[in-house]
């Protein structure tokens, strides 16, 4: 229900803002809800606010599991 997209942080800006980019489209958004964000990180953006940082290694692992779903049994990740 909540339209949010992963965007790359280009610059940090004053007052808890950041300039993010998705495929050439740049937008200024708020970092008020996340900490420790650095340029190059990907954040999930919803209504002009970053909600969370995206974990690139988890993304890679997920994709890999998808790609090899018929090769190996998927181990799954029960919430720890």
Q: Which residues sit at the interface with other proteins, rule CB under 8 A?
A: 1-6, 8, 19, 21-30, 32-35, 42, 44-49, 51-52, 54-56, 58-59, 61-63, 65-67, 69-70, 74, 76-80
Q: Are 46 and 33 contacting, i.e. CB atoms less than 8 angstroms apart? A: no
Q: Are 19 and 13 contacting, i.e. CB atoms less than 8 angstroms apart? A: yes
Give least dist CB 38 to other proteins, A.
17
C-alpha span between 45 and 59 (Å, rounded):
17
C-alpha span between 62 and 41 (Å, rounded):
18
Give least dist CB 40 to other proteins, A.
12
* Closer by beta carbon to other proteins, 12 or else 51: 51
């Amino acid at each position: 229900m909540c339209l949010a997209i992963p965007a790359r942080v280009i610059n940090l800006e004053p007052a808890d803002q950041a300039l993010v980019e998705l495929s050439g489209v740049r937008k200024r958004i708020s970092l008020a809800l996340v900490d420790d964000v650095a340029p190059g990180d990907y954040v999930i953006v919803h209504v002009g606010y970053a909600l969370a940082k995206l974990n690139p290694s988890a993304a890679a692992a997920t994709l890999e599991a998808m790609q090899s779903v018929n090769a190996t049994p998927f181990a799954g990740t029960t919430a720890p």
